[in-house]
Homo-oligomer: A and B are copies of this chain.
Amino acid sequence: MNASLQTHRYLLQFSIKPSVQRTAVMDYLMKNRTHPTIDEIYTALSPSMPTLSKTTVYNTLNLFIERGAVQALVIDEKNARFDVDTSSHAHFICKSCGKVHDIFNLKPELFEIPQHPNFTIHSVEISYSGLCNACKES
């Protein structure tokens, strides 16, 4: 089974030309649902793609977001984080270690877009914060 073939097709759905770099970044996002930062993506891919530039990772993610293939999470004040899962789910950030986790199985009402006279609302982001078990114990 060729994972990058799937990825290839996924990119084409969003009218993104699947270059080697773009396919690698999308592939990484699909296999690593940890909402990685730019730096994590770059560091992970760099060994197998020695000429990869961090600028390319930035460019690639900006393109993915522009085309709607990836969602940028605004939950971590230090770094942008990215999510390929567009289903209704929330996120949790640990204020100690900074890791971001998914929270599924919340009531669907939470993700409804309210009507408002002054705004045209396109999306909602629900972010919880606190401590993860590992950090709480220490």
Contacts and interface: CB of A to CB of B under 8 A. Distances in A.
Contacts of A107: 109
A125 interface: yes
B126 A124 contact: yes
Contacts of A126: 124-127
Interface in A75-103: 75-77, 80, 92, 94-95, 101, 103
The quantity of this chain's copies bound in the complex is: 2
Given A120-B133, A120-B136, A124-B126, 14 more contacts: A74-B76, A74-B127, A92-B121, A94-B119, A101-B119, A106-B114, A119-B133, A120-B130, A121-B128, A122-B130, A124-B128, A125-B128, A125-B129, A127-B127
B129 A123 contact: yes
Interface of A: 72, 74-77, 80, 92, 94-95, 101, 103, 106-107, 109-110, 113-114, 116, 118-133, 136
Contacts of A124: 126-129
